[in-house]
Amino acid sequence: MGRSARSCGAVILLAVVCSCRAATLESVHWSSSNAKFAPGQGQVLYPQIGDKMDIVCPKTDASSSRTEEFYKVYLVSKSKMESC
């Protein structure tokens, strides 16, 4: 077995091991009516690299008078956010 074949085998093994550790997190329904987005109770998640999570966005009707909703997502630790 050549050096390149062993390197490919090592990369494939690493990919399989990493994918086995990945988790599928609970879906998040992106709406102000969701209790997880209530003021003072912001949802905090700690996903790891490779984890999967669905973000379900509500549909809006173009003819509706309702305004769109926005929420900011940060990829920083809490201490970094608080010291910003």
Report pLDDT digits (tens) over 49-73.
888 888 888 777 777 666 777 666 6
Helices (H), 22-84: 78-82
Q: What are the structural domain ranges in the chain? A: 3-82
Region at 78 (left for phi over 0; alpha for psi -120 to 50; beta for the rest): alpha
Q: What is the mean pLDDT of the chain?
A: 73
- Cα 11 to chain center, whole Å? 25
Asked if residue 27 has pLDDT above 80, the reply is yes
CA–CA dist 60, 73 (Å, integer): 21
Q: Is 72 strand, coil or helix?
A: coil
pLDDT of the residue at 84: 66
